[in-house]
Amino acid sequence: MHEMSLAGGILKVVEDAALREGFVRVSQLHLEAGALSGVEVGSLRFALDCMRAGTCLAGAEIVIDEPLGTAWCLRCACSVQIQSRADACPRCGGHQIQPTGGTELRVVDMLVHDAAEMNQGER
């Protein structure tokens, strides 16, 4: 399951950002895993849940969007949406398509809190 490795990488990105930017907690993490990324979203969510205890992601809401893939059809000379690398062009039925988007796994944004905000909440 390569999603465990991906989750570890995401956690490292978040913790590196926390050190660099000075925040202590993330209340929402927004990810994007494109349809052509090869990521099994349920497994990624499970892996993140297993790894985040004791980190700045503990208790965070994790939102994962799954945008469709896009591809360039050589036959139609246009951009089309696809759900899988094996899909045919929805316009012409041809298989001469080159993926152009939806292949990424990325951190879109985070809602973060610094130590001062955390201390105010305890009053």
pLDDT on residue 114: 85
pLDDT digits 0-9 by tens, 54-69: 999 999 999 999 999 9
| Residues sharing a CB contact under 8 Å with residue 44, sequence separation 6 or more, in sequence order | 3, 6, 7, 31, 33, 64
Tell me, what CATH number does 44's domain have? 3.30.2320.50
Q: Tell me if 23 sits within 8 A of 112, measured CB to CB.
A: yes
| Residues sharing a CB contact under 8 Å with residue 18, sequence separation 6 or more, in sequence order | 24, 26, 56, 112
In a shared domain, residues 111 and 122:
yes
Range of the domain at 85: 69-101
Nearest CA to 65 among 41, 96, 101?
Answer: 41
In the chain, which residues have pLDDT < 50? 123
Residue 26 is which amino acid? V
Tally of structural domains, the chain: 2
In a shared domain, residues 26 and 86:
no
In a shared domain, residues 6 and 36:
yes
In a shared domain, residues 62 and 6:
yes
In a shared domain, residues 47 and 74:
no
SS3 5: helix
In a shared domain, residues 6 and 41:
yes
| Residues sharing a CB contact under 8 Å with residue 35, sequence separation 6 or more, in sequence order | 66, 67, 68, 69, 82, 83, 84, 102
Two tokens, residue 119: 């201390």
In a shared domain, residues 85 and 107:
no
pLDDT on residue 118: 61
Distance CA 75, CA 14 (A): 42
In a shared domain, residues 20 and 44:
yes
Distance CA 6, CA 48 (A): 9
pLDDT on residue 111: 97
In a shared domain, residues 95 and 58:
no
